[in-house]
Amino acid sequence: MSKLRTLILGHKNPDTDSICAAISYADLKSKTEEGEFSPRRAGEINEETKFVLNYFKVKPPKLTESVKTQIKDIDIKHTKGVDKNISFKKAWSLMQELDVVTLPAVNEDGDLEGIISVSDLQTHI
């Protein structure tokens, strides 16, 4: 499993205090806790902040436009495909063994034919 990644950002229209707080807090957390802490900004950097960052030779934080969870944020489990004619019992056992709630059903060429989910199994039992 990958290290927990935490984004640290201030308010939407960041001033120098907000940007510097995100940078310094991310640095502190990185030195005192396990995980990955990344300073971010929620808006454009103003001229004063650019001056301060340039003066101290500090890279500006990356822009984060949204903090809504995206697919790329999810730790995806890659599961080998199963024959679409697999029995319910085998599918259920495999889901428990792999600790997953879905299995990809594939044809003989390995192409995806569909998804078998726990709810599919529950509905048809």
> pLDDT, tens digit, for every residue of 8-35?
998 889 999 999 999 999 999 999 999 9
Percent pLDDT > 70 in the chain is 97
Residue 35 region by backbone torsions, left for phi larger than 0, else alpha for psi between -120 and 50, else beta: left
- How many Å apart are CA 52 and CA 123, to the nearest integer? 61
Q: Strand 82-83 relative to strand 36-41: parallel, antiparallel, unpaired?
A: unpaired
The stretch 41-48 carries a mean pLDDT of 96
Residues 65 and 87 in one domain: no
Residues 11 and 29 in one domain: yes
Residues 62 and 86 in one domain: no
Instruction: Residue count of the chain, please give it.
Output: 125
CB of 62 within 8 A of CB of 80? no
Residues 10 and 67 in one domain: yes
Residues 20 and 69 in one domain: yes
Residues 20 and 61 in one domain: yes
Residues 42 and 69 in one domain: yes
pLDDT of 3 strictly over 80: no
Number of domains in the chain: 2
Residues 48 and 20 in one domain: yes
Residues 66 and 105 in one domain: no
Residues 27 and 86 in one domain: no
The stretch 83-102 carries a mean pLDDT of 93
Helix residue spans in the chain (DSSP H): 16-32, 47-55, 88-98, 118-123
Give, in order, the Cα–Cα distances in Å from 54 to each of 57, 100, 120.
Answer: 5, 48, 57
Domain encompassing residue 96: 82-123
Residues 69 and 10 in one domain: yes
Mean pLDDT of all residues in the chain? 91
pLDDT of 73 strictly over 90: no
Residues 37 and 88 in one domain: no
Q: Where is pLDDT greater, at 5 or 55?
A: 55
pTM above 0.75, yes or no: no
